[in-house]
Amino acid sequence: MRGDHTAGNSARHWTAKILAHGWGPWLVGLAGVIFAGVGIGLLVYAAREGFRKYLRLEETSGAAREWIIRLGKWGYSALGIVFCLISGFLVSAAVHSEANRVQGLDGALRTLAHQSYGPWLLGIVAAGLASYGAFMLVEARYRRLV
């Protein structure tokens, strides 16, 4: 692993170090629960359109406003799904005390790709993450500064 500094290997490395302690599985499991909470929170935030209150949408036309809201909903939903996937890997690592079960973003997306409808799932999540990036650009323009 020396010389290989990918995010997935780094996550496994630190998880292995934590799991080596008696309290390690509990800490990794807690991290998994926190990631799940953040993921679910992002999904709720997207569904409730919580990001709207931070935007100056009155400066946009009706059609542009609809697209901005769609980008925000898709983007935050995709981010929430990825957080929940990573959460599952952390909880699995904690339960089995195996650091090699931990995956970063690349591993989460690779896992999606290997499912029965993997290419479709991966495409949907990829489109959602691209939507999140586009929404961040839109937010940079229309963010309320107050």
- Report helix angle 7-19 to 105-113, nearest 10: 110
Residue 27 counted as domain residue: yes
Please give the pLDDT value at position 40.
Answer: 98
Please give the pLDDT value at position 97.
Answer: 80
Residue 1 counted as domain residue: no
Count of CB atoms within 10 A of residue 145's CB?
5
Instruction: For residue 55, list its beta bridge partners.
Output: 143
Residue 2 counted as domain residue: no
Structural domains counted in the chain: 1
Residue 12 counted as domain residue: yes
The residue segments making up the domain with residue 110 are 7-142
Please give the pLDDT value at position 4.
Answer: 47
Q: Which residues of the chain have pLDDT under 70?
A: 1-9
Residue 95 counted as domain residue: yes
String of b and e for 81-120 (b: at least 16 CB within 10 Å)?
Answer: bbbbbbbbbbbbbbeeeebebbbbeebbbebbeeeeeeee
pTM for the predicted model, two decimal places: 0.81
Please give the pLDDT value at position 46.
Answer: 97
Residue 79 counted as domain residue: yes
